[in-house]
């Protein structure tokens, strides 16, 4: 399932061209939402291209439990660099586009950081427990394979990188803003880089499978104000947990 991934492809085009289309334009599919008739239970009925949302057997997010420790799993090499960030309110989340040059290496393959975005509340659960929010760092290899790194955020101390980003949150769908001072997405990663990994999908239409997930074990914090600021924009922008269908979940530590 490495075929055409419309969302990410056009984000790149938008980045190169200097314009930032909304997610509705990116997917060129039917309009969807997080509630009501266009909500997650109906995604697959909205557009044939969204069929995997109901019929896929490797959907995300899932509840992380019963993971098998695999000491042969390699650490994720992070090569995130600082730079100016562009924020886009897609109508489904706030998406941050970093300048080109940030990437990870997993299993000897380079995956470029394409964008990262937020869900409120968090999407992936660990032993049944959801976090207050999460970040999804979306990466893509030269061959088009998608790797997403999930970082769970819970209420606690303020996060300095989020403080910089939140000053520039675009309030309306389609709006963009730019953080001109240099900041590094690395400030949104936990110090301990242990992870759980499994094979899943995009968590929003078209729910494309063939996505490798890494959920960081250590959680990060954000302040109550930071949590409320995002929650005021997106009260709920998360998909409900999907059946694991017996998928193998591995733990690096």
* Smallest separation, CB 246 to Zn ion (Å): 24
Q: Output 136 or 140, the one with its CB closest to Zn ion.
A: 136
Question: 29-88: which residues touch Zn ion (CB under 5 A)?
Answer: none
Question: Mask of contacts with Zn ion, 117-136, x by CB under 5 A?
Answer: -------------------x
**Does 239 contact Zn ion by CB under 5 A?**
no
Count the residues of the shown chain that bind Zn ion, applying the rule CB under 5 A: 1
* Nearest partner of 184 among 241, 245, 137, judged by Cα: 137
Q: Output 70 or 235, the one with its CB closest to Zn ion.
A: 235
Residue 206 CA to residue 131 CA, distance in Å, equals: 24
* Longest distance between any two alpha carbons in the chain, whole Å: 45
Residue 40 CA: distances (Å) to CA of 103, 138, 153, 199? 31, 21, 23, 20
**Candidates 92, 117, 136, 139; catalytic one:** 92
* Smallest separation, CB 94 to Zn ion (Å): 11
Q: Output 35 or 253, the one with its CB closest to Zn ion.
A: 35
Length of the chain: 253
Whether 120 is catalytic is no
* Smallest separation, CB 205 to Zn ion (Å): 12
**H-helix segments, the chain:** 6-17, 23-27, 43-46, 52-55, 160-166, 224-233
Residue 83 CA to residue 228 CA, distance in Å, equals: 26
* Smallest separation, CB 117 to Zn ion (Å): 6
Tokens of 104: 């990870």
Q: Output 61 or 170, the one with its CB closest to Zn ion.
A: 61
* Smallest separation, CB 152 to Zn ion (Å): 12
Residue 17 CA: distances (Å) to CA of 11, 21, 113, 182, 226? 10, 10, 18, 21, 32
| Chain residue whose CB lies nearest Zn ion | 136
* Site for Zn ion, rule CB under 5 A: 136
Active site residues: 92
């Amino acid at each position: 399932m490495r075929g055409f991934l419309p969302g990410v492809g056009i984000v790149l085009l938008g980045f190169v061209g200097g314009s930032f289309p909304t997610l509705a334009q990116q997917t060129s599919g039917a309009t969807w939402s997080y509630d009501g008739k266009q909500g997650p239970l109906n995604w697959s009925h909205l557009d044939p291209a969204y069929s995997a949302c109901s019929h896929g057997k490797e959907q995300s997010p899932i509840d992380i439990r019963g993971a098998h420790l695999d000491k042969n799993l390699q650490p994720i090499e992070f090569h995130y660099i600082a730079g100016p960030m562009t924020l886009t309110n897609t109508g489904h989340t706030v998406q941050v586009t970093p300048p080109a040059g940030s990437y990870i290496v997993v299993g000897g393959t380079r995956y470029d950081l394409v964008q990262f975005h937020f869900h409120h509340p968090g999407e992936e659960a660990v032993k049944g427990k959801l976090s207050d929010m999460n970040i999804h760092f979306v990466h893509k290899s030269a061959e088009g394979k998608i790797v997403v790194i999930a970082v769970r955020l819970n209420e606690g101390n303020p996060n300095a990188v989020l403080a910089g980003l939140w000053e520039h949150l675009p309030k309306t769908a389609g709006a963009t803003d730019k953080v001109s001072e240099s900041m590094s997405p690395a400030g949104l990663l936990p110090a301990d880089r242990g992870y759980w990994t499994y094979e899943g999908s995009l968590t929003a239409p078209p729910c494309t499978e063939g996505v490798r997930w890494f959920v960081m074990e250590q959680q990060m914090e954000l302040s109550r104000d930071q949590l409320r600021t995002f929650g005021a924009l997106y009260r709920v922008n998360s998909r409900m947990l999907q059946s694991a269908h017996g998928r193998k979940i591995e733990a690096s530590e």
